[in-house]
Amino acid sequence: MSPMQWDSNMLDFAGLNWLAILVATLAAFALGYVWYGPVFGKAWLDALGKTEEDIQPSPTPFVVSFVAALATCIVVAALLKGLGMAGVGDGAVLGLVTGVAFIAASMASDTAFCGWGWKLWAIQSGYRVAYSVIMGAILGAWPPG
């Protein structure tokens, strides 16, 4: 197959390692707890212009975040499989590339147009790039099969 030729098996979702996907998704979720808590919690609230009292406890953001992380994880797993990549290093690199090129870049565009502030962009996209690297590393270390 030439580098520019599409192969429908490149995004084959059958036969993925669903346990690895669940573990990688939970790892991303756990990172969020640390990232938005003790590590960047105060800076994140400051960038949002909010206080802890302004944040109302609700399961909705957590459910949405989990589903979004799961969707990201499934696609990263399918890409790893389709590209024939395996191992922690390959997975981490794919996570870094997808995190920066797709997530952080898209969020930068949104930030520029919506005026959210670059501090908020750095915290938010930094988390997503970090979780993409972690997801990729876990999935690369634990391929289907």
CA distance 101 to 106: 8
Per the domain annotation, does 6 fall within a domain? Answer: no
pLDDT of residue 13: 82
Domain that holds residue 40: 15-141
Per the domain annotation, does 77 fall within a domain? Answer: yes
92-140 residue pLDDT tens: 999 999 999 999 999 999 999 999 999 999 999 999 999 999 999 999 9
Per the domain annotation, does 130 fall within a domain? Answer: yes
Q: Is the pLDDT of residue 1 over 60?
A: no
Count of structural domains, the chain: 1
Per the domain annotation, does 80 fall within a domain? Answer: yes
Per the domain annotation, does 4 fall within a domain? Answer: no
Q: Is the pLDDT of residue 6 over 80?
A: no
> Percent of the chain scored above 70 by pLDDT?
92
Residue-averaged pLDDT of the chain:
92
Nearest CA to 5 out of 74, 76, 82 is that of: 82
In this prediction the pTM is 0.88
Per the domain annotation, does 5 fall within a domain? Answer: no
Per the domain annotation, does 7 fall within a domain? Answer: no
